[in-house]
Structure 1
Amino acid sequence: MRRGLLPALAVTALLAIYVWAIAGRGVALLNTGEPVGIALGAAVLAIPLLVIWLIWREWSLAAHVQRMADELAASDELPVDDLPRSPGGRIDRAAADEAFALARTKAEAAPEDWRAWYHLAFAYDAAGDRRRARATLRHTAKLHGRAAG
């Protein structure tokens, strides 16, 4: 089993319980028949829909990233975490910045190469910019989808 799968499933299960509870409250408000209750019920039901969409979006990205990782591993191109670390396990910032600059240059030189963007996403992560790493993975997934077909 992949390392992060069990925690992701646990969080998804907790969110499913949350969605069920909130949806129940929304339906109860709709059933009051009162205009305010109906308006609040409709607003409350928007929350579970948003949560379901966000969960689907994240699981879809995770599955796509895994397919890309499997493809890169098969061709021996998967990024390797070989950056120097402190005794506490933190990545050396200067080394991460240097690796990031190299990955960014390669991605800019090949804007349609999903492999270069995949490496850039992991360079962002190593440099500590998780938000840009995730956005870059989304971009990478789009490029990979276009390349596949």
Structure 2
Amino acid sequence: MSRIGVALMAAALLVYLAVAIWLAVMFISVSTPISIGMGITLLVLAPIGAWALVREMMFGFGADRLGRLLDAEGGMPPVETELTPSGRIARADADPLIARYAAEADAAHDDWRARYRLGVVQDAAGRRKDARASIREAIRLFRRP
């Protein structure tokens, strides 16, 4: 199901780029200073938006691939604490758990599995920014020869 969503997002990206470029050309062809500025802005912002979306899609593919691989190996972190109704780790349990997984990741600094497990625990604790950084590092370590 998520693959279908990604395909739809990629198709929407292509439509967005085509419409943005078409609008930029139309704005520029009006030849007023404001319309030229708007056209140039569209020509600059459309590729930046496309780059950001492609980057997020690559992150999602990499994280999904590593997650499936780690799960197949039986290496995903087990649920060790009570979870809140939203599925998060309780605040009181989060810090010691994250500290333990961070110590494991630091001890094995070239092991993508330890870094990915840290990211999973950080995400379960609601620390999305830290989790994304850890998983991004796991993807980088996995790709390194």
**Category of TM-score, reference length = shorter chain:** 0.7 to 0.9
Give 2:110's aligned residue: 112
Runs of at least 4 residues off by over 6 Å: none
Q: Deviations over 1:91-131 (max 9, x none)?
A: 31122222101110011111111111101111221221111
In structure 1, which of residues 71, 96, 99 is the aligned counterpart of residue 94 of structure 2? Answer: 96
CA contact under 8 A between 1:19 and 1:51: conserved in structure 2?
no
Which deviates more, 123-132 or 85-94?
85-94
Give 1:41's aligned residue: 39
Q: Deviations over 1:19-73 (max 9, x none)?
A: 4443332121122244543333122121211111111111111111122112212
> Hey, what's the Cα distance between the residues in 2 that align with 1:40 and 1:112?
47
Query: RMSD of the alignment, in Å?
Result: 2.5
Q: What are the ranges of 5 or more consecutive residues in structure 1 without an aligned counterpart?
A: none
- The 1:11/1:44 distance shift into structure 2, 3 A limit, reads same
CA contact under 8 A between 1:113 and 1:143: conserved in structure 2?
yes
Identical-pair percentage:
31
Give 1:79's aligned residue: 77
> Hey, what's the Cα distance between the residues in 2 that align with 1:140 and 1:10?
27
Q: What are the ranges of 5 or more consecutive residues in structure 2 without an aligned counterpart?
A: none
Q: Which amino acid is the alignment partner of residue 117 of structure 1?
A: R
Give 2:61's aligned residue: 63
> Hey, what's the Cα distance between the residues in 2 that align with 1:19 and 1:81?
43
Which deviates more, 106-115 or 17-26?
17-26
Give 2:127's aligned residue: 129
SS at match of 1:86: coil
TM-score, length-scaled by structure 2 = 0.81
Aligned residues: 145
